Amino acid sequence: MNTLELAKYAVKLMDAKKALDIEVLKTSKLTSLADYFVIGSGSSFTQVSAIAEEIDFQLGLQGHQPKRIERDKGSNWILLDYGDVIVHVFYKETRNFYQLERLWADAERFDAESFLKYEEPNE
């Protein structure tokens, strides 16, 4: 699975857990941190945790282990770092506060809807 496929799969997994306002930012021309940021929100702390756990589990089944997972105590923001793809799962109000999309306003944006057409990899 290449970097773009991993980002697409993360979008599909977020959508399956009913994440809100999924966005994909291509950051490769702006930073060496990652090629893509996948950003989504949950409407409750439980949903935020469920989204992050599903991504971690499903990508793990495909042989992709995060380099690190960071979370605050209240599950307001969970970051899963897969190297070239960083997945951010926010509680909706926390996302509004940090406004990563504004911080990375120069990044190329992808339509998350088009990513949902991605075919899951075969095991």
> pTM to 2 decimals?
0.90
- What DSSP line would sit under 22-87, residue for residue? EEEEE-TTT-SS-SEEEEEEESSHHHHHHHHHHHHHHHHHTT---SEEEE-TTSSEEEEE-SSEEE
Helix 45-61, helix 3-16: angle, nearest 10:
140
Is 61 within the bounds of a domain?
A: yes
Residue 37 CB neighbour total at 10 angstroms = 23
Round to whole Å and give the CA distance between 33 and 61.
Answer: 24
Q: What is the CATH number of the domain that holds 50?
A: 3.30.460.10
Domain housing 81? 3-106
Report CA-CA distances (Å) from 77 to 19, 89, 100, 121: 13, 6, 12, 27
Is 51 within the bounds of a domain?
A: yes
What confidence tens digit (pLDDT) does each residue in 23-68 have?
999 999 998 899 999 999 999 999 999 999 999 999 999 999 999 9
Round to whole Å and give the CA distance between 77 and 98.
Answer: 10
Is 96 within the bounds of a domain?
A: yes
Is 9 within the bounds of a domain?
A: yes
Number of domains in the chain: 1
Residue labelled with tokens 């499903």: 58
Check residue 122 and report its DSSP letter: P
What confidence tens digit (pLDDT) does each residue in 75-116 have?
799 999 999 999 999 999 999 999 989 989 999 998 788 777
